[in-house]
Amino acid sequence: MKANQERIEKHIKALSRYTATPNEGTTRLTYSEEDLQARIYIKEQMEAYGLEVREDGLGNIFGKLEGEKKDAPSVIVGSHFDSVPHGGDYDGPAGVIAGLEIAALFQDNQVKPVYPLEIIAMIEEEGSRFGGGLMGSRGIAGYLSKDDVQETKDKDGISVPEAMKKIGLDPSLEVKRDPETIKAFLEMHIEQGPILEEEQISVGVVESIVGLTQLEVTIDGKAGHAGTTPMDRRSDALVAAANIISKLPQIAMEEGEGAVTTVGRHQVFPNGANVIPDKVVFSVDIRSSKEAHVKNVVQKVKNLVRSWEANGIQTAVEQSLYMQPKELNKKIRSILEASCAQLGTSFINMHSGAGHDAMVLSDITDVGLIFVPSKDGLSHCPEEWTAIHELAAGIEVLYETALKLTEKS
Ligand code: HGY
Ligand code: MN
Ligand code: MN
């Protein structure tokens, strides 16, 4: 079954309009005005494809096509629709659009599935507004209590429920899904790396996903006058932070095994050019395909931070996210591979260095994740790009797989 490339292109163009930084990449923070516009569009498309639409207590969007089998578990297809700051148009939306197009193909072909088909668009996978990340899928998996959600605030101190209500969402609704209500979850995502493009392969069938954690490091010092405070009487939080940050790449390289450390977010207080900084807060993203190496690096980072506690410098380290490495379901992988073979679509098995909602949902259901090529391997930047026909090739594989899993009657 051929995917409709005009529809796919229409969705990509539509969603790419909902950004807070037009002409400077996609910035679509959760529960922002841009989220609301994208949400309205996604729900309209779901309704147009005959789906019954709802939003849960975190604002995850679901579109359901009932199956012939009463109260049967659903095959869920989708991804996230938030973005990193100044990101691209495909990270997340490619998978949501895959779900929309599969729903449209079910409708075009009057497919009557035995098991329900649900299309999902999840919130806050990137963690760009509330930190951590994978929030929509962690809510569905039951990892977030109502208190956790209430206490989760953005940098302006706005809580998740407050931000939800501002765009008309209801935080009192249930989020956690009973695993019995899900038969499988399928996600299509851009590779965000160079392999598929370099090897001219259409689809990556993901076998494993990297383990990852995010730390938030706070360095407290003492504010002072830049001109009148002698150098030997300073507790400069930024000098301490800069020394710590400069050592992080070496910790990752010494650990090896593909371990990586990244400082992506960094705030200086009070941030005045003639004021000695009294506080610095920065993020440390740590990953490896083997959990032991993630834990080693975390410990080394904590020891390094603590070693700077002297001369009026205080430190604190908080862990905002921790995900073990994941092996994805072999049965689903073989169905994906069979769908590629059936369509004559080239594929390879791959490991994912990026985290995905699939890694969370694999804790509660059988999960399949496929990649489609990223131009020049770029992602998390405005240059992120995938050709429409490459998206279509991945969607056709997912469509055949969704047909098999919903067992059309
Ligand atoms: O950070 C990641 O791996 C994903 O893009 N959230
Ligand atoms: Mn991303
Ligand atoms: Mn993503």
User: What is the per-residue pLDDT across 332-356, written as a single tens digit (0 to 9) for each?
Assistant: 999 999 999 999 999 999 999 999 9
Q: What is the mean pLDDT of residues 281-308?
A: 97
Write down the architecture of domain 211-323 according to CATH.
2-Layer Sandwich (3.30)
Report the nearest-CA residue for atom 6 of ligand 1: 126
Residue % of the chain over a pLDDT of 70: 100
Ligand 1 pocket by Cβ (under 6 Å):
125-126, 133, 354-355
What was the pLDDT predicted at 70? 87
> How far does residue 91's CA lie from ligand 3's centre (Å)?
5
364: pLDDT strictly greater than 80: yes
The pLDDT tens digits of the residues spanning 235-247 come to 999 999 999 999 9
What was the pLDDT predicted at 316? 98
What was the pLDDT predicted at 409? 56
What was the pLDDT predicted at 272? 97
Which of the listed residues 129, 322, 356 should we mutate to test ligand 1's pocket, taking the one with most ligand atoms within 8 A of CB? 356
Q: Domain 5-210+325-406: which topology?
A: Aminopeptidase (3.40.630)
Q: Which residue has the tokens 């092996």?
A: 327
> How far does residue 126's CA lie from ligand 2's centre (Å)?
6
Q: How many CB atoms lie within 10 A of CB 155?
A: 11
* 287 alpha carbon, closest ligand: 1
Q: What is the mean pLDDT of residues 216-242?
A: 98
The mean pLDDT value of the chain amounts to: 97
What was the pLDDT predicted at 290? 95
> Which residue, 407, 403, 397, 401, is CA-closest to 344?
397
Q: For residue 119, what pLDDT band results from cuts at 50, 70 and 90?
A: very high
Cβ proximity of 278 and 236 under 8 Å = no
Residue % of the chain over a pLDDT of 90: 98
Atom index in ligand 1 nearest the CA of residue 353 equals 3
Residues 6+ apart with CB under 8 A from 385: 88, 89, 90, 374, 375, 378
Query: Does this model's pTM top 0.85?
Result: yes
> How far does residue 322's CA lie from ligand 1's centre (Å)?
13
What was the pLDDT predicted at 298? 98
* 84 alpha carbon, closest ligand: 2
- In the beta sheet, which residues pair with residue 212? 287, 323
* 285 alpha carbon, closest ligand: 1
3-state secondary structure the chain: CCCCHHHHHHHHHHHHCCCCCCCCCECCCCCCHHHHHHHHHHHHHHHHCCCEEEECCCCCEEEEECCCCCCCCEEEEEEECCCCCCECCCCCHHHHHHHHHHHHHHHHCCCCECCCEEEEEECCCCCCCCCCCCHHHHHHCCCCCHHHHHHCECCCCCEHHHHHHHCCCCCCCCCCCCHHHEEEEEEEEECCCCHHHHHCCCEEEEEEECEEEEEEEEEECCCEECCCCCHHHCCCHHHHHHHHHHHHHHHHHHHCCCCEEECCCEEEECCCCCEECCEEEEEEEEEECCHHHHHHHHHHHHHHHHCCCCCCCEEEEEEEEEECCEECCHHHHHHHHHHHHHHCCCEEEEEECCCCHHHHHCCCCEEEEEEECCHHHCCCCCCCCCCHHHHHHHHHHHHHHHHHHHCEC
State yes or no: 380 annotated in a binding site: yes
Atom index in ligand 1 nearest the CA of residue 287 equals 3
Cβ proximity of 78 and 94 under 8 Å = no
> How far does residue 115's CA lie from ligand 1's centre (Å)?
31
Atom index in ligand 1 nearest the CA of residue 192 equals 5
Q: What is the mean pLDDT of residues 348-367?
A: 98
Q: For residue 132, what pLDDT band results from cuts at 50, 70 and 90?
A: confident
Which of the listed residues 80, 82, 86, 126 should we mutate to test ligand 1's pocket, taking the one with most ligand atoms within 8 A of CB? 126
What was the pLDDT predicted at 165? 98
**Cα separation, 107 vs 101, whole angstroms:** 10
1: pLDDT strictly greater than 90: no
> How far does residue 332's CA lie from ligand 1's centre (Å)?
23
* Structural domain spans, the chain: 5-210+325-406, 211-323
Q: For residue 408, what pLDDT band results from cuts at 50, 70 and 90?
A: low
Atom index in ligand 1 nearest the CA of residue 380 equals 5
Residues 6+ apart with CB under 8 A from 226: 273, 274, 275, 276
263: pLDDT strictly greater than 80: yes
> Which residue, 331, 333, 334, 338, is CA-closest to 352?
333
State yes or no: 80 annotated in a binding site: yes
358: pLDDT strictly greater than 70: yes
